[in-house]
Structure 1
Amino acid sequence: MRTLLLGLDGTCHPVLDPLLDDGLLPTLESVFERSVTGALTSQLPPWTPSAWPSLYTGVNPGKHGVYGFLRFDGYDYDVVDATDVRAHSLWELLDYHDKSSVVVNVPVTAPASEIDGAVIPGYVSPEDPPGHPEGILDDVREAIGEYSVYGPMDTPGEAELGDIAAHTRTRGDAFAYLVDRFDPDFGFLEFQQTDTVFHRRPTDEAAIECVFSSVDDAVATALEAADPDNVVVVSDHGIGEYNGYEIRVNECLRDWDLLEATAGGEGMPSWDAIARRRLQRGESGEKPSPGVLERGVSLLASVGVTSQRIEAVLEPLGLAEFVASVAPTDAVRAGTEQVDFPASQAYMRDRIELGVRLNVAGREPDGVVGPDEYDAVRDTVIERFSALEDPDGRPVFEAVFPREDVFEGPYVEDAPDVVVVPREFENFLNGSLLGERFGTPRESWNHKRDGLVAATGPDIDGDESLADAHLFDIAPTVLATLGVPRSDLMDGRPLSVVDPTPAETYPDYEDSGRATRDDHEVADRLAHLGYLDES
């Protein structure tokens, strides 16, 4: 193998360095000791479903089209997949130059593209994703035993450390099997649990050490199988403590008379309901008929007895958590006050996007903001959030932008109209209506802007610096190590540690050679991890 790209989701030097210093990661330590290393600045938004596509295409979301976990069609939505990434991946460009690849567990790669080699999709795919070639996942399971896209920490309940370690090591085993079978020029192996552990168990040192030590074992397996000339280690973003506030963006918009609320189940449905009814069981996307309990709770909500008000009564009595644990999710949703999207001027749809969308007439089905009002309403949103201060008198956001100041390309129209950047990424965004603008972050750890990059091998100049390395630079850098020209559409450039290859004009991207998505069981996992608001 000429080049192996290792992806450690959500990993940054403040997280990794103490583990290296304690001698817990001998394989990664040996790689880093030989490498030139540095911080890797992520994009906006610095979250898995958009950041990994940006890394493996070398272009910003305005050119590939994915901004978060969701795609939107009017007020409807669905979980994104690889058909939404409308730019060439680096393994597709390698295939164009007759070089083969093995790609394992990389997010947003299902359904897989047809290349010389193999693709086993990762995060944001169904549990049994359509890989390439057809039947390859079955072959992997037959060769190594159990292999699953999602791990023990991705589902509710307290996962055992042994199960976590075994799941993580299967990544290395699957990769080694595929390398032996396909003998590729390029390999890409990603680990998602390095991020998940900080969302689920951020203060559990045993769990953190378990995840990273098992990743180290899997990396050792991959290195032994591939014997690569070059090794590049990257992360899509960093992670760390959130010491600020939870910012209820839609509550702010409601206070500013830009958002309307509704009760009785007519707003955004819960992702638990979507996953169980439409995605896991293969039912249609139509709104399911409510049951008797749901209709009753919905009627109460319509006269003001909402789930939020009930919780406010139960909380001082110590009963809120118990009632939440036994109440059916659909019934809670039916009684929850929610955003009335058609009636609102502005709203946050998906907090992962870091943005606010306007309800524009002629663009949304029931838009209320006329095209001649667009600039004025958007300017108002920008001014309000730019001036917003937390209860301590500090600015909530370090920047608030119109979308065209952040993104460039043919898919800018798919972006939120306003992009908000939390101050030092210490404030947690929430789109739910909870009665107050500010609260305690629901997660004590979350994403930061700086990840990491390390590179070693004969095509890497160890005397050069990785200062100012950006997420978009990884794809052209990897291509350079294989002597393949980068696309002239890429926003990134080869890092100074490699001899750059020239830019080339490739054929227009076409969504061909991909299977049609026919199943998703992913939305409930995303809600469980806190990525999607449940009301």
Structure 2
Amino acid sequence: MKRRVAVIGLDGMAWHILDKLFEWNIMPNLKNITRKSLKGVLPSTIPPESGPAWTSIATGVNPGKHGIFGFTKPTEDYSGTHIVNSQDVKYLRVHEMVAVQNLKSVCVNQLLTYPIKRIHGAYVITDWLSPEIKYSPEIAQYAKNYQGPTLGKASPLLEKNWDAHYTEVSSRVDTVNALLEKTDWNLFWVVYSEPDHLFHRYYDSVMRKDRRLMRIFAKIDETFKIVSNTADLIIVISDHGFRKFSYGVYVNTYLEKLGLVNSMRHQAMKTIVCHRQVDKPKIQFRIPESLYRYLSRLPSSIELIMLRVYKHLLKANIRAQLTNHIDPKFSKAFAHGFGIYVKEKELIDHVVMYLKKAPFIGGAWKKEELYTGKQLKAMPDIVVIPNYEKGFAFRSDIIAPKTTVRRDFSNHHPNGIVILYSEDVKPSWVKGISVYDITPTILNFLGLNIPGDTDGKVIDLKNAK
């Protein structure tokens, strides 16, 4: 009988948060697995974003081979952005590799699985970045009750509707648990996005043990009880970590000061407040630049009070944001997420040099220094990350009044988690595991062929150090 591998993804989970959940006994089943496992820090991809990270974990190759750098990318003429989907993933993922080698896989909420690629033996429920939830007909009797946010459906989390959110999460966990117990699989792959979504908005509440949030983690923990009895190898991973930061960085503001970015202004605009979980756009009113500059110098508590006053005076549901945006068509270079697109290629070395000099930048590389592969052309010219260790994190692509703003907020950190359990492992803390190692380790455990161009290695479960 073929062995079984279960991969449980906890999007955004970090060790300092998971240790608290263990201390509070919120996730006793995962705690029990962790106690007898190999475990360590899993450094994310560069950049530490869910799109490239989960795709690298699921393929075993770098973004230059699989083609995913972020959730969106500029169009070829720089006139807009394109939301990526499964058709942008140019490399087989492990649930597909298993199926084409005549075993069976179940894959739930892996990013960029919409539209579903039909492969015999690979059964899929699509992810939150889909316009709607879709699933393979072979698992319809279980998947039909699966509820979740999508690009076209807002999450109750946004409105702090805790009971409705818990109902949705329960539907997802119950579906996963039924699939684990009642379907035939050799690889079971599920990503729970809830940690990341909670940490982005309610990090402090999580760290204060808010009972409304603790029951979400307790519900997810039910999966670990079931997987302990159904899998021969259990892998628990996160795509990146999370932590609090003290300074927000606006890279395009810095590039504007270097004379590389042109801007365009709007008196008012329609905006999607959260690009992944909103069904009704809201009107965003322009706050005068002079007022915004003044507010940005105030302590955050005073700033919030003044913004509430401004909101009351306008009698409108506003979000304060300087409406000064980049004009990609008429810029020499511009930042989009963690990537910088340089239209005049002779400027690339010049831009890298100035980025490396900036104290708020933790690293800047030409794409050829990080990635290899046929999809290298799809990557931005320069990859940049903030200086995480000094408390900096990127905010958005707008041009703000200042390059850096003093403000406490939570965001991604490169250090995720990895936990591996099978009967062969000796419990220990291990170093040196890469995001690229997960897929070859799964394939090796199942006795399947590993692609020759993989960027990872097989983890030695018996002798890992």
Interval of TM-score (by shorter of Structure 1 and Structure 2): 0.7 to 0.9
1:356 aligned residue (326, 332, 340) = 340
Cα distance in 1 for residues equivalent to 2:147 and 2:264: 43
- The aligned amino acid for 1:343 is F
Identity of aligned residues (%): 23
Q: Which residue is 1:285 aligned to? A: none
Could you tell me which runs of 5 or more consecutive residues in structure 2 were left unpaired when the two chains were aligned: 296-302
- The more displaced of 403-412 and 206-215 is 206-215
The residue identity in structure 1 corresponding to 2:124 is: V
Whether 1:177 aligns to 2:143 is no
Task: Work out the CA distance in 1 between the residues paired with 2:275 and 2:31.
Answer: 43
- Listed as ranges, the matches of 1:19-168 within 5 Å are 19-73=21-75, 74-75=77-78, 76-115=80-119, 116-126=121-131, 128-133=132-137, 136=139, 139-140=141-142, 142=144, 145=145, 147-149=147-149, 156-160=158-162, 162-168=163-169
1:234 equivalent in structure 2: 237
Aligned positions, number: 441
Once the two structures are overlaid, the 10-residue window that deviates more, 174-183 or 476-485, is 174-183
Secondary structure class of the residue paired with 2:158: coil
Taking structure 1 as the reference length, what is the TM-score of the superposition?
0.74
1:39 positional shift? 1.1
For each residue in 1:346-365, what CA deviation from the matched residue of structure 2 results, as whole angstroms up to 9, or x when unmatched? Answer: 1112x2xx12111x2xxxxx
| Secondary structure, counterpart of 2:203 in structure 1 | coil
Q: Structure 2: how far apart are the matches of 1:273 and 1:121? A: 20
Alignment of 1:113-512 (within 5 A): 113-115=117-119, 116-126=121-131, 128-133=132-137, 136=139, 139-140=141-142, 142=144, 145=145, 147-149=147-149, 156-160=158-162, 162-204=163-205, 205-206=209-210, 207-223=212-228, 227-243=230-246, 245-264=247-266, 270-271=271-272, 307-309=288-290, 311=292, 318=307, 319-322=309-312, 326=316, 336-349=323-336, 351=337, 354-358=338-342, 360=343, 369=344, 374-375=345-346, 377-388=347-358, 395-424=359-388, 426-429=391-394, 430-441=396-407, 444-458=409-423, 460-462=424-426, 466-497=430-461
Cα 1:164/1:34, change in 2 over 3 Å: farther
> Are 1:15 and 2:17 matched, yes or no?
yes
> Using the alignment, how far apart are the partners of 1:417 and 1:117 within structure 2?
35
User: Aligned partners of 2:276, 2:388: CA distance in 1, in Å?
Assistant: 33
Superposed displacement of residue 384, structure 1: 1.4
Question: C-alpha distance in 2, partners of 1:345/1:411?
Answer: 23
Superposition TM-score, scaled by structure 2 size:
0.85
Relative to structure 1, is the Cα distance of residues 417 and 246 closer, same or farther in structure 2, using a 3 angstrom cutoff? same
* More strand per residue: 2
Shift of 1:431: 1.6
Distance 1:311 1:175 in 2: 46
Within 2, Cα distance between the matches of 1:233 and 1:200?
Answer: 23
| 8 A contact 1:118–1:178 mirrored in 2 | no
Cα RMSD (Å):
3.3
- For residues 360 and 266 of structure 2, the distance between their equivalents in structure 1, rounded to whole angstroms, comes to 32
CA distance in 1, matches of 2:23, 2:449: 38
Q: CA deviation at 1:48?
A: 1.0
Superposed CA deviations along residues 326-352 of structure 1, whole A, max 9, x for unmatched, are 1679xx99x932212111111112x2x
Whichever residue aligns with residue 211 of structure 1, its letter is: I
Q: Is the 8 A contact 2:386 2:392 kept in 1?
A: yes
- Alpha-carbon distance, 1:380 to partner: 1.8
Q: Which amino acid aligns with 2:355?
A: F
Contact 1:154 1:196 in 2 (8 A): no
- Taking a change above 3 Å as real, the CA distance of residues 275 and 473 of structure 1, as seen in their structure-2 partners, is closer
Distance 1:153 1:323, change over 3 A: farther
Q: Which residue is equivalent to 2:300?
A: none
Deviation at 1:29, TM superposition (A): 1.2
Find the aligned partners of 1:81 and 1:493 in 2 and give their Cα distance. 27
8 A Cα contact 2:128 2:276, kept in partner: no
